[in-house]
Amino acid sequence: MKQSLILAIDTSADDTSAAVTQGTRVLSNVIASQTELHKQYGGIFPTVAKLAHKENIAPTVAAALKRARVAEKDIDAVAVTQGPGLAPALEVGISFAKELTKKWNVPLIPVNHVEGHLLSAIAQPPSAIIKMPLSYPALGIVVSGGHTSFVLIEESNKYKVLGQTLDDAAGECLDKVGRMLNLGYPAGAIIEQFSKLGNSKAIEFPLPLTTVKTFDVSFSGLKTFSRNVLAKKTADQPLTQQEIYNFCASLQYAVFRHICYKISKILEKYSVNEVLLGGGVSANATLRNMLRQPIKKQGLKLKVPYTKRLCMDNAAMIGVVAGMKADPKDKEMEIERQPNLGL
Ligand code: KG4
Ligand code: ZN
């Protein structure tokens, strides 16, 4: 049986993305980045994001169809991120998706953005022939700029959040400390590059939440610790370039050590068949390597997205999740944005 061709849209934050997927296969995944627009604000400016999404959405969808070599008439359903995300940004994608479903007379499938990151590691390249099924139960680790969540995937569509951040997301912490160091926005990828030139043992950061039995994480303490250390160090003279490298390496190590500590505790308690990693920070090679240790101890392998484009915000992950949903919602259904949607 031919699997449905899905046109997927994600406008949850600052990137406008459209993709064509078929089952777990990604036929195209186009991302119109707004990073340059928001750099000057040191974060995402919602009204600017909304305007840029409006401008970019039609050409991005057209490019996704063209790159996948799929005609509009062949699309079986439209999937769109319903939340969580920035309300004005989500609105643009949802309105456009609704227009398309009317025009093409196909169903609309609402998708949770975090579920997209959670399952992004099961996406496959267009050339894949065999679908790689997920072996349940699986552990999903989402580490992004908006979310840090550890989720037990009990079966298809059945999730149990085992732990999550109590304050900032891991990527948000890297971005905020990056701002203190004037590294530009977003800082995660720059911190990864700088860390390669630094000593991760140069500054000893605390390991948060070790005395509590929950699997939650907290990064605000690492941020405050960074601010205090930097204030002290820069009181007399600015940091040397090597000190900046060392600071980045030590911070990155502290953030990832905290995540790995909680993941090892989860794996001691829960027996899972697979571990999936997703979200913008999952592009980081050090995080992947550090996570592999507790996972290997359980005889498991870490599954990561097959390309870095699937780590960041993208529509292909939304299409892959939509392809797993058994019954697309009726095409008349009124979907509303849900900025605070949970799993
Ligand atoms: O998934 P994403 O594109 O957007 C959200 O849903 O948040 O993640 C963006 C986050 C930012 O905080 C960015 O600094 C971080 O991912 N990031 C990285 C790397 N690339 C992006 N963090 C660490 N290392 C990287 N290579
Ligand atoms: Zn995201």
| Cis before 206 (ω within 30) | no
- The larger pLDDT score, comparing residue 235 to residue 137, is at 137
**pLDDT recorded at residue 343:** 84
How many Å lie between the centroid of ligand 1 and the Cα of residue 66? 28
Q: Which of 16, 312, 313, 341 to mutate to test ligand 1, by most ligand atoms within 8 A of the CB atom?
A: 312
Question: Is the CB–ligand 1 distance for residue 283 below 6 Å?
Answer: yes
Read out DSSP for 252-315? HHHHHHHHHHHHHHHHHH---SEEEEESGGGG-HHHHHHHHHHHHHTT--EE--SSGGGTSS-S
**pLDDT recorded at residue 210:** 85
User: Is the confidence at residue 150, as pLDDT, over 80?
Assistant: yes
User: Is the confidence at residue 38, as pLDDT, over 80?
Assistant: no
pLDDT band at 40 (very low <50, low <70, confident <90, very high): low
Question: Is the CB–ligand 1 distance for residue 116 below 6 Å?
Answer: no
Q: Which of 281, 286, 310, 341 to mutate to test ligand 1, by most ligand atoms within 8 A of the CB atom?
A: 281
Mean pLDDT within 144-168: 95
- Report yes or no: 314 and 144 within 8 Å, Cβ to Cβ: no
**Token pair listed for 69:** 């070599």
Read out DSSP for 69-123? T--GGG--EEEEEEESS-HHHHHHHHHHHHHHHHHHT--EEEEEHHHHHHHGGG-
Nearest atom within ligand 1 for CA of residue 186: 14
**Token pair listed for 247:** 């600071």
**pLDDT recorded at residue 37:** 64
| Range with lowest mean pLDDT among 95-99, 273-277, 327-331 | 327-331
Rg over alpha carbons for the chain, rounded to the nearest Å, is 20
Q: Which tens digit of pLDDT belongs to each residue from 124-136?
A: 999 998 777 799 9
Nearest atom within ligand 1 for CA of residue 170: 12
| Cis before 328 (ω within 30) | no
Q: Which residues, in sequence order, are CB contacts of 163 under 8 Å at separation 6+?
A: 149, 150, 214, 215, 216, 217, 262, 266
- The larger pLDDT score, comparing residue 73 to residue 14, is at 73
What percentage of residues in the chain have a pLDDT greater than 90?
79
Q: Is 204 helix (H, G, I), strand (E, B) or coil?
A: coil
How many Å lie between the centroid of ligand 2 and the Cα of residue 312? 6
**pLDDT recorded at residue 129:** 83
Question: Is the CB–ligand 1 distance for residue 10 below 6 Å?
Answer: no
Mean pLDDT within 251-265: 98
Q: Which residues, in sequence order, are CB contacts of 100 under 8 Å at separation 6+?
A: 7, 61, 78, 106
Q: Which residues, in sequence order, are CB contacts of 209 under 8 Å at separation 6+?
A: 216, 217, 218, 258, 262
Ligand nearest to the CA of 311: 1
Question: Is the CB–ligand 1 distance for residue 22 below 6 Å?
Answer: no
- Report yes or no: 304 and 282 within 8 Å, Cβ to Cβ: yes
Rounded to whole angstroms, the Cα distance separating 134 from 122 reads 8
User: Is the confidence at residue 333, as pLDDT, over 80?
Assistant: no
What percentage of residues in the chain have a pLDDT greater than 70?
94
How many Å lie between the centroid of ligand 1 and the Cα of residue 89? 18
Closest CA to 259 of 129, 147, 167, 170: 170
302 φ/ψ angles, rounded to the nearest 5 degrees: -85, 125
Nearest CA to ligand 1 atom 16: 280
Closest CA to 209 of 255, 174, 141: 255
Average pLDDT along the chain: 92
Question: Is the CB–ligand 1 distance for residue 305 below 6 Å?
Answer: no
User: Is the confidence at residue 330, as pLDDT, over 60?
Assistant: no
Nearest atom within ligand 1 for CA of residue 12: 6
User: Is the confidence at residue 43, as pLDDT, over 80?
Assistant: no
pLDDT band at 236 (very low <50, low <70, confident <90, very high): confident
Q: Which of 165, 174, 177, 308 to mutate to test ligand 1, by most ligand atoms within 8 A of the CB atom?
A: 174
Q: Which residues, in sequence order, are CB contacts of 111 under 8 Å at separation 6+?
A: 8, 79, 80, 81, 82, 318, 321, 322, 325
Closest CA to 175 of 317, 47, 35: 35
**pLDDT recorded at residue 326:** 56
pLDDT band at 17 (very low <50, low <70, confident <90, very high): very high
**Token pair listed for 143:** 């580490």
Q: Which tens digit of pLDDT belongs to each residue from 103-125?
A: 999 999 999 999 999 999 999 99
**pLDDT recorded at residue 151:** 97
Question: Is the CB–ligand 1 distance for residue 313 below 6 Å?
Answer: yes
**pLDDT recorded at residue 175:** 96
User: Is the confidence at residue 243, as pLDDT, over 80?
Assistant: yes
